[in-house]
Amino acid sequence: LLKDGDLDVRAAAAAAISELVKHNIGRSSIASELLEASEVFRHNDPTLRTRTVVPFTYLIDYPDTRDMLLGSPLQSNLIGLLMDDLIEDPQETAALFSQLIILGYNHIAALPVIFHAYTNLHDSNQILQARGASILLAMATHASLRNMIYQVLVVHATFRLFSPETSSEEINAVIDNMARFGILKLTE
């Protein structure tokens, strides 16, 4: 149903799946089916892509499906959604992404999302500014991600102060290298 040609059918399917995963009956099979339908994350309709996240926000709460989600390509799909400026309300996606990071995904994977949200904060478009702020706020609810955000902001501010000609992309590359070499503390 998530692949149906009618937008209303896809929306109803996402809502129904969200309700089904709240019950123990077939939760694991629903999770595996949702993960197999990952091409929905690349669908042209941003609303459908966002609605597809909702069932996963319930599935992450259950130990029987949490391990399945942690071993899946869900993280890369969520990164794609968070970096897609057509997604209007990224808070649920950012919250799910943050929860997966805290539960065991690679913390370095959060850096591109933080970089993109930071770039949105400095955009002239107020919608993108609000989007960037909502992503960072959702991620900052977790202490280790909040510390990552602080570190990124401090490095950016330091470069802006002492080397204003350095571009954001160059600063992001420095931060990325600092994280990969263990100079930045990405976990608590």
In tens, the pLDDT along 25-38 reads 677 777 777 777 66
Q: Are residues 144 and 176 in the same domain?
A: yes
How many domains does the chain fold into? 2
- In this structure, are 84 and 139 located in the same domain? no
pLDDT tens string 62-96: 887 888 888 888 888 888 888 888 877 788 889 88
Q: Which residues contact 123 (CB under 8 A, 6 or more apart)?
A: 129, 132
Instruction: Please indicate, yes or no, whether residues 96 and 132 belong to a single structural domain of this protein.
Output: no
Q: Are 172 and 94 in contact (CB under 8 A)?
A: no
Q: Which two three-digit tokens encode residue 17?
A: 């799946």
Domain boundary among 105, 128, 149: 105
* Judgement on whether residues 81 and 11 belong to the same structural domain of the protein: yes
pLDDT of residue 134: 93
Residue 18 has pLDDT above 90, yes or no: no
pTM: 0.82
Q: Are residue 99 and residue 129 in the same domain, yes or no?
A: no
- Dist. CA 34–CA 31, nearest whole Å: 5
* Statement to judge: residues 88 and 156 lie in one domain: no
By residue range, what is the domain housing residue 36?
Answer: 1-105
Of 86, 105, 124, which closes a domain?
A: 105
